Structure 1
């Protein structure tokens, strides 16, 4: 239970730090961000508050997704109807939080009054953004057991493509859900990436069964897989038995910005569904249980640092808890009580024997 609490809260902390009321999330230079952080007294000198350090839409969407997952649903279709309801209700409230445009567009295309097809949205050529990935860690927390893998795959894809109906987008939600489940299973972090790639065939099979947009999906499917395979080879951990990742000799803020841009599809690290989880994963591999190093890599870089920070913070919480976290970072965090309540409910739902 304590790790669930840590995950939900630190996801918000990572988001608020990387976002910095849109200032750092729109800054192209990690060097500049770390310089400004030093002037604030470093992580120990920061007290996150609603006014100066609000969370972004990433945490708000993670909250409402978790609320749907702990609701009293009796089938997965019923769960999707609940997700449609909470997404439609929240869309107007997140506009002021520098929202991923695909999130807004997707939410407005949902049909809460359509019982059978309410969560079906059109294929979106621009739906490859990070927003599906940042709301789905709770899916992996709800369906973390290996025997619940089918549920994890289906729910993460459906929740992802409600707002990001593009493989690069909704495979990002599958990725972060899987990583959360691997963290709870205590699977070694170095294995996560290659284990995730093994599940992509199951994701494709599920999409074929739903008979929606497969022609468009096939044109765009392999980008996500190819980028991740390339990343794992770059780190030297693409094959079984390769369990020692290799990093650039001088992996400082300037070098990280350069590397993250190379992984991206448009020169903005973390903007898409493939590289937001990738940067968070890379930060976990590099930092281990060192919270400061994790923040330097995942929250304080040029690019979509709120998105990568929210994913990295949540996964760190599942792995290591709150022991090394300065109190100023979470005691006044926006929505902290809501996040803690949802953590308890997710833990209870995840470990109940009955239900879908």
Structure 2
């Protein structure tokens, strides 16, 4: 249970660090961010509080998703209807936190008062952003057991499509949900990317059965897969048995930024559903359990550092807990009490012997 709590808390810590009240989220230079961090006294000297280090809209949507997952739903359709209701309500609460315009626009298509079509939204050319990936780790926490993989695939895709109905968007939510489940299972981190590639055909099969106009998605489907295959080949962990990732000698933040931009689709690292989980995963893989190293790579880079920080921080908490993390980062954290309550509730819900079918 403690690691479930730590996962949600450290996800919010990573988000707040990368966000820094909008200052670092919008900064394109990791070097500048890390210089400002030194001026603040370094990572260990930071004291995160709601006024100066609030969590971003991404962390609040992750919490909103978790709120629905801990309700006592009898079937997945009931879960989806509850999510629709909470997402629509959240759009009002998020106005002071600069929510992503494409997410707000997508939520306008949700129909909380339509029992049959509540969560059915049209294909969205703008839906390839990181938002779906950044809110789905709790899905992996709810369905972390290997025998619940079918539920994980379906729920992560459907919650992704509600706000990011584009393969690059909702495959991102599948990736982060899957990685969260692997962290809880204790699977070797180096295998996660390969295992994701093996699960994606299940996602495609599910979508073929449930999406009426699959042709709209097909031409965009392989972009996500191709990007991830390129990444795994670059790290030399694309094949079974290759368990020693190759990392370039990134001597400074500028080299790291250049590497991350290469993986992105438009030169802003972490902006899309494929590279936000990719950067978080790469940082987690490279850090080898070192919290400070994880922060340097996932929270303090140029680009969407609040999204990559949220994903990486959650994965770290699920695998390592709070022991190595300075207390000042989470003692007075924004929403900490509710985050811990949700972590406990997710643990209890995931442990309950209850098979959720359609």
TM-score by length of 1: 0.99
**Alpha-carbon distance in 2 for matches of 1:40, 1:9:** 22
User: For residue 38 of structure 1, what is the aligned residue in structure 2?
Assistant: 38
- Shift, 1:252, TM fit: 2.5
**Residue pair 2:250, 2:256 contacting (<8 A) in 1 also:** no
User: For residue 210 of structure 1, what is the aligned residue in structure 2?
Assistant: 210
User: For residue 299 of structure 1, what is the aligned residue in structure 2?
Assistant: 299
**Alpha-carbon distance in 2 for matches of 1:176, 1:62:** 11
User: For residue 334 of structure 1, what is the aligned residue in structure 2?
Assistant: 334
User: For residue 220 of structure 1, what is the aligned residue in structure 2?
Assistant: 220
User: For residue 318 of structure 2, what is the aligned residue in structure 1?
Assistant: 318
Tell me, what secondary structure is at the counterpart of 1:170? helix
Q: What's the Cα RMSD here?
A: 0.8
- CA deviation vs aligned residue, 1:118-140 (integer Å, no higher than 9, x gap): 00111110100000000000000
- Shift, 1:251, TM fit: 4.5
- CA deviation vs aligned residue, 1:179-210 (integer Å, no higher than 9, x gap): 00001111100000010010110000101111
**Alpha-carbon distance in 2 for matches of 1:211, 1:58:** 26
More displaced, 291-300 or 203-212? 203-212
User: For residue 174 of structure 2, what is the aligned residue in structure 1?
Assistant: 174
**Alpha-carbon distance in 2 for matches of 1:104, 1:170:** 16
**Alpha-carbon distance in 2 for matches of 1:100, 1:350:** 30
User: For residue 77 of structure 1, what is the aligned residue in structure 2?
Assistant: 77
User: For residue 349 of structure 2, what is the aligned residue in structure 1?
Assistant: 349
User: For residue 113 of structure 1, what is the aligned residue in structure 2?
Assistant: 113
- CA deviation vs aligned residue, 1:246-279 (integer Å, no higher than 9, x gap): 1112342111100111100000000000000000
Map 1:1-356 onto structure 2 (within 5 A): 1-356=1-356
Tell me, what secondary structure is at the counterpart of 2:325? coil
**Alpha-carbon distance in 2 for matches of 1:95, 1:261:** 29
**Alpha-carbon distance in 1 for matches of 2:238, 2:95:** 39
- Shift, 1:355, TM fit: 4.0
The count of aligned residue pairs is 356
- CA deviation vs aligned residue, 1:142-195 (integer Å, no higher than 9, x gap): 000111000000000000000000000000000000000001111100000010
Greater than 4 Å deviation, 4+ residue runs:
none
**Alpha-carbon distance in 1 for matches of 2:251, 2:142:** 35
More displaced, 94-103 or 144-153? 94-103
Tell me, what secondary structure is at the counterpart of 1:217? helix
- Shift, 1:107, TM fit: 1.3
**Residue pair 1:74, 1:355 contacting (<8 A) in 2 also:** no
**Alpha-carbon distance in 1 for matches of 2:105, 2:287:** 36
- CA deviation vs aligned residue, 1:7-52 (integer Å, no higher than 9, x gap): 0000000000000001001001000000000000111111111111
**Alpha-carbon distance in 1 for matches of 2:11, 2:212:** 32
In the alignment, structure 2 segments of 5+ residues that lack a partner are none
**Alpha-carbon distance in 2 for matches of 1:324, 1:212:** 48
In the alignment, structure 1 segments of 5+ residues that lack a partner are none
**Residue pair 1:100, 1:130 contacting (<8 A) in 2 also:** no
**Residue pair 1:180, 1:318 contacting (<8 A) in 2 also:** yes
- Shift, 1:97, TM fit: 1.7
**Alpha-carbon distance in 1 for matches of 2:304, 2:164:** 17
TM-score by length of 2: 0.98
**Residue pair 1:69, 1:142 contacting (<8 A) in 2 also:** yes
